[in-house]
Amino acid sequence: MALVLIEEILMGLEDAKLSLDEAVTTLDMLADDLHPDFAEELRPLLEQQFLNPLQARAIALEQLLEDLATEAEQPL
């Protein structure tokens, strides 16, 4: 039963990681495609307020997934 719960948690976290990665990619593309008149002001705001925090969370989630996968492989 515990293994089933761990697998479901891992799948949910992997889905969250994929969503974060997609958000980061979308924001990065948006920032790259900004009109030059807006890019100077908006790009730093997008990076500081959205892109950097999302990337940090994606990295942390990736580490959590690796840690959980390692723990799941350990015998009970």
In the block, residue with structure tokens 């948690």: 9
Q: Report the first-to-last Cα separation within the chain, whole angstroms.
A: 12
Flag whether 1 is in a domain: no
pLDDT one-digit tens code per residue, 15-34: 999 999 999 899 888 888 88
pLDDT of residue 76: 57
Residue 23, both tokens:
């958000």
Q: Give the pLDDT confidence score for residue 7 in this predicted structure.
A: 80
Instruction: Assign 1 a pLDDT band (cuts: 50, 70, 90).
Output: low
pLDDT digits (tens, 9 = 90+) for 38-63: 888 888 888 899 889 999 999 999 99
Q: How many domains does the chain have?
A: 1
With respect to residue 2, please indicate whether it lies within any of the assigned structural domains.
no
Residue 60 located in a structural domain:
yes
Range of the domain at 29: 10-73
pTM of the model: 0.75
Q: Answer yes or no: is 58 within a domain.
A: yes
Sign of the Cα torsion 33, 34, 40, 41 reads negative
Max CA distance (Å), the chain: 59
Distance separating alpha carbons of residues 14 and 61, to the nearest angstrom = 8
Q: Is residue 19 part of a domain?
A: yes
Q: What is the separation of C-alpha 5 from the centre of its chain, rounded to a whole number of angstroms?
A: 22
pLDDT recorded at residue 28: 85
